[in-house]
Structure 1
Amino acid sequence: MATNKKILIVEDDKDILELVKLYLGKEGFRTATASTGTDALKQVKSDKPDLIVLDLMLPEIDGLEICKRLRGAPDTASIPIIMLTAKAEEADTIVGLELGADDYVTKPFSPKSLVARVKALFRRLDRQQQGTVSVHTYGHLVMDLSRHEVRVQDREVVLTAKEFGLLEYLLRNVGRVMTRDTLLNSVWGYDYYGTTRTVDVHVRRLKQKIPLLNDAIVAVKSLGYKLKEYDAPA
């Protein structure tokens, strides 16, 4: 894996920030840091990072609000975000995922584990960009893997890295039932420690962003999801 990627670490605990910076640096990643929400937003705007490691509890502007703002702006909507949270409650994790985070790590965490998550996320993005099939179509939906772009009726739909990966996997398996565990392993990676609720959150977000999928992605009771074969209107 190329290690020229730039990662913005947003963390107000200096010890954790320096530790994460040290471990990412050892792997060849370039890093930038921010200790407040305001500073983080300025840095993202001035020097677009390839990935953001984002603490939730920050001075001035918290991590959830930062995530919301980044996902709401077209030029930053697709930057991968890994959340750091000291809260173990599932509700906090779900809120972050609802707002568009790609992954999360609960404190206390192993720096090596965080680095592994970062590498896994970059690998999955690389695989999506280097897939053998470069374009998927589903009715008026067109997914161009080489451009990392999704368009519906020639209007671009901005997706997060995980939303893009989930949609691409469903499009490659039209008509097949995909269990939540299969989707977690294939899109998030076998080393992902989240719950299957993560899949439900991302499916719901896909449907919100692409109404065409509202009836196309169906839940299969106790199993998972299926993208129905496309049935062109009469």
Structure 2
Amino acid sequence: MHTQGERRIAVIIEDDIDIRHLLETVLGQAGFETVSTANGLDGIEAVREHDPIVTTLDVSMPGIDGFEVAKRIRTFSSTYLVMLTARDEEIDMLQGLDSGADDYVTKPFRPRELRARIEAMLRRPRAHGTPGGTESALVATATQVPEPAPVSDAPAGADMSVAIPAEDNWLRHNGLRLNAATRIVTLHDDEIDLTRSEFELLAALLESGRRVRSKQDLALLVRGDPYLTSGYVSETDKRAVEVHLTNLRRKLGDNAQSPRFVETVRGVGYRLSASRA
């Protein structure tokens, strides 16, 4: 686990030499020491050896592809994982996020945008509750302002209940429990393994209760910019939220047609389902 003051290392896994040099420049300017590799197997070993804060990963490489590399890295590392690829099809994004990526950026990318996305990720908690912000000099002085109020389409007098935590800091809803301090989620006492993004989305919906969270609002949350009120959100960002919610529902065994935990508000976003006895 990284602590403030340690070396800030980024591993680059990219077979294109020009893009590899560009990433070295971008990450170097962001304050990282970079370790570059040209294939997946070498990249896995570099992550294992150097324990980087951030890893960029190309999808199309000789040998094993980026999806398989991501899965193997996730068996031993909580590094922030950014997939870079020329593929922009929905199925590719789904596969990338499902493999354990934290973000999915299509080529060609703008260096400034990539750096901004990495800075945003560093504000999010890493595994085991380690706040990314303490690891990043880039965001140490970022000013946090209150999150905008969620959108609500509920009529007056509607059930606006929120899954309020008890004294033991657990949020509870229909047999589901979430503890933000320990980052543990259980369903009927069985622990559920969620990615960082899935956890953040579920926590936000539990805290908001029956108030609707828009896709833009949730996209900024996933990206690490929940305090922004007008941050740019692309259709790809919104689609990523949909993918994360689909995976979350699958892990919870939730049915989108008759939801027990998360329901879709068509054309707006998502909210917690009604409480059940």
Q: TM > 0.5 between the two?
A: yes
- How far apart, in 1, do the equivalents of 2:86 and 2:241 lie? 22
Range with greater deviation from structure 2 (92-101 or 61-70):
92-101
Tell me the residue number matched to 2:41.
38
Within 1, Cα distance between the matches of 2:13 and 2:197?
20
Residue 45 (structure 1) shift: 3.1
Distance 1:112 1:22 in 2: 11
Superposed displacement of residue 192, structure 1: 4.4
Q: Is the 8 A contact 1:80 1:102 kept in 2?
A: yes
- Three-state SS of the structure 2 residue aligned to 1:83 is strand
Match of 1:8 in 2: 11
Q: CA–CA distance in 1 between the matches of 2:36 and 2:193?
A: 26
Could you tell me how far 1:212 is from its partner in structure 2? Answer: 6.4
1:137 corresponds to: 171
Change (3 A) 1:191 1:160: farther
SS of 2:28's equivalent in the other structure is helix
Q: Do 1:67 and 1:100's aligned partners in 2 also have CA atoms closer than 8 Å?
A: yes
* Mapped partners of 1:88, 1:141: distance in 2: 34
2:71 partner amino acid: K
1:210 corresponds, among 235, 252, 256, to 252
> Which is greater in Rg?
2
CA–CA separation in structure 1 for the residues paired with 2:197 and 2:61: 24
For the 8 Å contact 2:26–2:115, the answer to whether it is kept is yes
* Aligned-CA RMSD value: 2.9
1:24-173 matches, within 5 Å, as 24-71=27-74, 73=75, 75-76=76-77, 78-125=78-125, 129=131, 135-139=169-173, 140-173=175-208
Equivalent in the alignment of 2:25:
22
After superposition, residues 189-208 of structure 1 pair within 5 angstroms as: 189=225, 190-193=231-234, 194-208=236-250
Contact 1:135–1:142, Cα closer than 8 Å, also in 2: no
Q: Distance in 2 between matches of 1:203 and 1:196?
A: 11
Shift of 1:100: 3.2
Equivalent-residue separation in structure 2 for 1:156 and 1:5 (angstroms): 32
Kept in 2: contact 1:136–1:171 (CA 8 A): no
1:174 partner letter: G
> Paired residue for 2:268?
223
Q: Report deviation, 1:207.
A: 1.7
State the Cα deviation string for residues 120-146 of structure 1 (Å, max 9, x = none). Answer: 11113389959xx99442244443333
Distance 2:50 2:217 in 1: 36
Please give the secondary structure, in 1, of the residue aligned with 2:210.
Answer: coil
**Separation in 2 of the partners of 1:44 and 1:38?**
10
The offset of 1:154, in angstroms, is: 4.9
Instruction: Report how far residue 102 of structure 1 moved.
Output: 2.0
C-alpha separation in 1, matches of 2:26 and 2:104: 17
The alignment-based identity, stated in percent, is: 35
| CA drift at 1:169 | 1.2
Query: Which SS does the other structure have where 1:125 is aligned?
Result: coil
Question: What is the one-letter code of the residue matched to 1:39?
Answer: D
Distance (Å, rounded) in 1 between the aligned partners of 2:19 and 2:210? 45
Q: Which amino acid aligns with 1:205?
A: N
Q: Which moved more, 1:44-53 or 1:116-125?
A: 44-53
> How much has 1:83 moved relative to structure 2?
0.9
- The aligned amino acid for 1:115 is R
Q: Measure how far apart 1:118 and its partner are.
A: 0.4
Bigger Cα displacement from structure 2, 172-181 vs 114-123: 172-181
Q: Is the 8 A contact 2:67 2:96 kept in 1?
A: yes
